[in-house]
Amino acid sequence: MWQNIKDFAADFFVTGDPLIYGADVAIVLTMSAIVFVLTYFKKWKWLWTEWLTTVDHKRIGIMYVIASLLMLFRGGMDALLMRTQLVMPEMEFLSPEHYNEIFTTHGVIMILFMAMPLMFGLFNLVVPLQIGARDVAFPFLNSLSFWLFFAGAMLFNISFVIGGSPNAGWLAYPPLSGTMFNPGVGQDFYIWGIQISGIGSLATGINFIVTILKMRAPGMKLMKMPMFSWSVLGSCLAIILAFPILTVTLALSFIDRYFGAHFFTLDGGGNPMMYINLIWMWGHPEVYIVVLPAFGIFSEIVATFARKKLFGYKSMVFAIMAISVVSFITWAHHFFTMGSGADVNAFFAVSTMIIAIPTGVKVFNWIFTMFKGKVSFETPMLWTVLGFIPCFVVGGMTGVMLSVAPADFQFHNSYFLIAHFHQTLIGGVVFGYIAGLVYWWPKVFGFKLNEKLGKWSFWFWNIGFYVCFMPQYVVGLMGMTRRVSTYSWDSGWWGLNLVSTIGGFLMGAGFLIMVWQILHSIKFMERDTTGDPWNGRTLEWSIPSPAPMYNFARTPVVEHLDDWWEKKQRKAKGEPEKPLAPLEPIHMPKNSGIPIIMSGFWFLAGFGLVFDWLWMAIPGFLGVFACMFAHSFNYDTDYYIPVDEIERTEAAARGTV
Amino acid sequence: MASNKNHAAQARAGNHGHDGHHDLESLRLMGFWIFLITDCILFGTLFATYAVLSNSTAGGPTGAEMFEMPGIIAETFILLTSSFTSGLALLCMNRGDRKGLIGWLAVTAALGACFIGLELNEFVHLVHEGVTIGTSAYWSAFYTLVSTHGIHVTIGLFWMIAIMIQLGKHGITPVTRRKVNVIGLYWHFLDVVWIFVFTVVYMMEVM
């Protein structure tokens, strides 16, 4: 009996690595601390009613942001572990097996559990406010999306202490990820972690398309909609077209592993190359899904801090839509070496290069917006103009280099590629979302982040970035391939790798300063009483910060692009303001515990399937269906906020003005 | 009770734009249309997979050797008929005839259940003949595509039953009306998908 338990535990928990034991202790201590604090301060009920069951898009947005910053920390730790291993030739810090696991989890976490939720967090925090809506189209579904992401992320993350991490790369190409070469549970964690959170992403895509198309304030024609909302629309269109492909791809991979099917196997007529086509049909649009909203953020920030209307608004809209469409016909540039022939490669090379055109249009638009503007360099602008634009221009140009099919045979799978995609994803996505976070922070929390620490963080990130990735272009051209866990002294790669590692740690320091900046600002914040600390242009700045639960006391009526700015201009000219409409009761959705419970059942189902425990998986799925039925039969889902309560809330919020 | 509340809410929300119940129902209908687009892509991906693997039998049996068309043609007619009866249910709803609505939904569900029964029968038969999901890539693609459609139909059945219970409890309200519209869309969509399955998987294989 005792021996059985010991055998089980040896399989179940990851053992034999001091780093993992350290993580085990840290996890147990953190969990106990959280439970202790919540119990000691009697906060469980508050947590449940105010946060875990909330359907308020602003709170869901905050939860997304917190979760994604935690994931940024974990993905960043993975990066630093890898850079430590590569700092010198013949290092023995990580074993090759452990290294495989770390680059796999680093990639998955950064794209799917950091970039995506940070993006959804910003969608939730900003879009309804920006289009003058009281909520998203489907508040219940919105909460469900968040909890599905959370369940998926947790399922993926526990793999490193329970069962073992996936190790076949962030896109898990077969046959390496098939049972023949990968019989353990790591790949199953990969499949179910991503599958569960992917369902949530798909739902968010649907939710925000309907929100943007149907819930804009009266008068806000599509061509009067703020740029960030446009970019969200473009991104969501790509989500609904791309994510079903991911769902199918992961499902087929699961069927291969679990039922012994032959989609991607080497025997039985299977075709591993088909997986690579399928995964990139999702994977390529995915990088545009995460970068388009960043483009929207930059557009808002540049216009705000140049005190000018965005240059070429219509061409910006066109560029966003063009990018979201063209991104679907470029996927094969990820494997020019597949052997599909010159004509196919030429098609995908040209379609890839075409994307540079609308992207270039956008860069020129941002620059022309600043031209003759009253430009000021607060932190969000710093991230945009000094961080993003140069970084993305270089990243874009190396991208065009990679898109030249014959040249790609040389760059393929080298560190040149690593440097390129980190340059676009960090320079575009991470810089963009940080800029957005700093920009909208006062709207969400009611105070600005500390400028000085923000600038320090920016410079550490930005300099660290170049120090880290510029050497990688060179070392890639010198022949160092991605995913190698070590190299020899006579390769001549040492110096460049050392510099690169130093850069990685500088970026880590930038992250720490950012955390410090947030904590410092929480402690010494100065409350923003204006609701419009940056002298903004769009509707979200017309209401108090933080926004009241119902967002707008009166439905705003929009007449212009940048309506709030125009209103302020008219007021400054002394034109009389229009009389306010009387307040009316506001229709709001009720909180619901079903999303978090249902996601808990998804977690059980996923965990059960990972370990092949049907006794756990089947009740998990039954629980999911029970939750769906419970929700379908619940007709008591909304309520009205009475006028006197709105008056009280508004008076409290405006009273400080 | 609930329906009264809904009507009151609708009346209050009627004159100002974009909140309140009435608009909420139209939002949900639109959301469902977009969901159907995503489901189209899901099936499209499975069809593409099937097309790529349609000759990958690895020397094993082909579909043409194994399919027994009479059962499959019967399945097809049953499913097409169920689309028709779901349309009749909708007509009843528009006349305000709750009994007729629930009755036709019940007929639709029964036909759907027959379809699932025949499909399971086909699978059992194939497995008895020794053709399973692991036989070859072709059969992996076959079972996955056909059973994904079957799972959709099964979910639709349970969903329809839930809606019939709600119709019994609440009658025809804006909320149940939207739910019936949505399941109707879903059911027709599955019918269209089946026509593609029938053509691509069965007809093109045996012709």
The 3 state secondary structure assigned to chain B is CHHHHHHHHHHHHCCCCCCCHHHHHHHHHHHHHHHHHHHHHHHHHHHHHHHHHCCCCCCCCCHHHHCCHHHHHHHHHHHHHHHHHHHHHHHHHHHCCHHHHHHHHHHHHHHHHHHHHHHHHHHHHHHHCCCCCCCCHHHHHHHHHHHHHHHHHHHHHHHHHHHHHHHHHHCCCHHHHHHHHHHHHHHHHHHHHHHHHHHHHHHHHHC
Give the pLDDT band of residue B9 (cuts 50, 70, 90).
Answer: very low
- CB atoms B38 and A207 under 8 Å: no
Average pLDDT over residues A217-232: 95
**Distance between CA atoms of A202 and A193, rounded to whole angstroms?**
15
Distance from CA of A587 to the nearest CA of B (A): 6
* B155 residue type, one letter: I
pLDDT, position B21: 55
Q: Identify from A135, A206, A554, A643 which residue to disrupt to test chain B contact, counting B C-beta atoms within 10 A and taking the largest count.
A: A206
Bridge partner residues of A13 (DSSP): A162
Question: For B27, which of A214, A216, A218 is closest by C-beta distance?
Answer: A214
Give the pLDDT band of residue B14 (cuts 50, 70, 90).
Answer: very low
Q: Which residue has the tokens 């693609």?
A: B141
Which sign, positive or negative, has the C-alpha torsion A92, A93, A99, A103? negative
* H or E segment and range at residue A244: helix A227-259
Residue A657 has pLDDT above 50, yes or no: no
**Distance between CA atoms of A22 and A15, rounded to whole angstroms?**
11
Distance from CA of B57 to the nearest CA of A (A): 6
- ipTM (interface predicted TM): 0.94
**Distance between CA atoms of B141 and B121, rounded to whole angstroms?**
19
> Kindly report the CA angle at A539 between A381 and A49, in degrees rounded to 5?
95
Distance from CA of B137 to the nearest CA of A (A): 5
Cβ atoms of A94 and A81 closer than 8 Å: yes
Give the pLDDT band of residue B12 (cuts 50, 70, 90).
Answer: very low
Distance from CA of A140 to the nearest CA of B (A): 12
Average pLDDT over residues A163-178: 94
- CB atoms B140 and A137 under 8 Å: no
- CB atoms A587 and B45 under 8 Å: no
Distance from CA of A555 to the nearest CA of B (A): 9
Q: Identify from A179, A204, A255, A262 which residue to disrupt to test chain B contact, counting B C-beta atoms within 10 A and taking the largest count.
A: A262
Above pLDDT 90, what percent of chain A? 88
Contacts of A134 in chain B (CB under 8 A): 19
Contacts of B52 in chain A (CB under 8 A): 271, 274
pLDDT, position A8: 86
**Distance between CA atoms of B138 and B33, rounded to whole angstroms?**
32
Give the global pTM: 0.94
pLDDT, position A655: 63
Q: Identify from A213, A635, A639, A641 which residue to disrupt to test chain B contact, counting B C-beta atoms within 10 A and taking the largest count.
A: A635
pLDDT, position B16: 41
Question: For A252, which of B28, B49, B179 is closest by C-beta distance?
Answer: B49
Number of Cβ pairs closer than 8 Å across A and B?
Answer: 141
Q: What is the pLDDT of residues B30-69, one digit of tens each?
A: 999 999 999 999 999 999 999 999 999 999 999 999 999 9
Give the pLDDT band of residue B7 (cuts 50, 70, 90).
Answer: very low
pLDDT, position A327: 93
Average pLDDT over residues A224-247: 97
**Distance between CA atoms of A337 and B99, rounded to whole angstroms?**
63
Structure tokens, A513:
């300063």
**Distance between CA atoms of B120 and B150, rounded to whole angstroms?**
9
End-to-end CA distance of chain B: 58
Q: Identify from A195, A220, A587, A590 which residue to disrupt to test chain B contact, counting B C-beta atoms within 10 A and taking the largest count.
A: A587
**Distance between CA atoms of B140 and B133, rounded to whole angstroms?**
5
Residue A589 phi, psi dihedral angles, 5° rounding: -80, 150
pLDDT, position A533: 93
Which one, of A331, A165, A306, lies nearest residue A245 by Cα?
A: A331
Does residue A639 sit in helix, strand or coil?
strand
- CB atoms A245 and B28 under 8 Å: no
Which one, of A394, A391, A388, lies nearest residue A302 by Cα?
A: A388
Does residue A593 sit in helix, strand or coil?
coil
Provide the H-helix boundaries in A109-185: 116-130, 139-158
pLDDT, position A339: 86
Tell me if the bond preceding B61 is cis, omega within 30° of 0: no
Residue of B nearest to A257 (CA): B134
Structure tokens, A126:
């900003």
Q: A370-379, B16-25, B106-115: which range is least confident on average?
A: B16-25
- CB atoms B42 and A244 under 8 Å: yes
- CB atoms B53 and A271 under 8 Å: yes
**Distance between CA atoms of A423 and A465, rounded to whole angstroms?**
8
Contacts of B16 in chain A (CB under 8 A): 555, 584
Cβ atoms of A305 and A534 closer than 8 Å: yes
Residue A24 has pLDDT above 90, yes or no: no
Contacts of A205 in chain B (CB under 8 A): 38
Which one, of B201, B99, B50, B71, lies nearest residue A252 by Cα?
A: B50
Question: For B35, which of A206, A213, A215 is closest by C-beta distance?
Answer: A206
Contacts of B56 in chain A (CB under 8 A): 262, 268-271
Average pLDDT over residues B136-164: 96
Contacts of A636 in chain B (CB under 8 A): 2
- CB atoms A633 and B162 under 8 Å: yes
Average pLDDT over residues B113-124: 96
Quote the DSSP letter at residue A493: -
β-strand pairing of A586-589 with A638-641: antiparallel
- CB atoms B140 and A262 under 8 Å: yes
- CB atoms B133 and A240 under 8 Å: no
- CB atoms A269 and B137 under 8 Å: yes
- CB atoms B144 and A638 under 8 Å: no
- CB atoms B58 and A262 under 8 Å: yes
Number of Cβ within 10 Å of residue B38's Cβ equals 20
Q: What is the pLDDT of residues B43-54, one digit of tens each?
A: 999 999 999 999
Residue A190 has pLDDT above 60, yes or no: yes
Instruction: Using only the alpha carbons of chain A, give its radius of gyration.
Output: 25
Contacts of A273 in chain B (CB under 8 A): none
Distance from CA of B78 to the nearest CA of A (A): 27
Cβ atoms of A257 and A187 closer than 8 Å: yes
Contacts of B137 in chain A (CB under 8 A): 261-263, 265, 268-271
Cβ atoms of A587 and B13 closer than 8 Å: yes
Give the pLDDT band of residue B22 (cuts 50, 70, 90).
Answer: low
- CB atoms B140 and A263 under 8 Å: yes
Count of residues making up chain A: 657
**Distance between CA atoms of A567 and A565, rounded to whole angstroms?**
5
Instruction: Mark residue A374 as left, alpha or beta (left: phi above 0; alpha: psi -120 to 50; beta: remaining).
Output: beta
Burial annotation A164-194 (CB, 10 A radius, 16+ → b, else e): bbbbbbbbbbbbebbbeebeebbbbbbbbbb
- CB atoms A133 and B18 under 8 Å: yes
Q: What is the pLDDT of residues A477-535, one digit of tens each?
A: 999 999 999 999 999 999 999 999 999 999 999 999 999 999 999 999 888 888 899 99
- CB atoms B39 and A241 under 8 Å: no
Q: What is the maximum span of chain B, computed from C-alpha positions, in angstroms?
A: 68
Question: For A260, which of B134, B144, B170 is closest by C-beta distance?
Answer: B134
Distance from CA of B52 to the nearest CA of A (A): 8
Average pLDDT over residues A334-338: 91
**Distance between CA atoms of A124 and A132, rounded to whole angstroms?**
13
Compute, in degrees rounded to 10, the torsion defined by CA atoms B121, B127, B131, B132: 100
- CB atoms B31 and A206 under 8 Å: yes
Q: What is the pLDDT of residues A619-636, one digit of tens each?
A: 999 999 999 999 999 988
- CB atoms A249 and B31 under 8 Å: no
Above pLDDT 70, what percent of chain A? 100
Does residue A481 sit in helix, strand or coil?
strand
Average confidence score pLDDT of chain A: 94
* B24 residue type, one letter: L
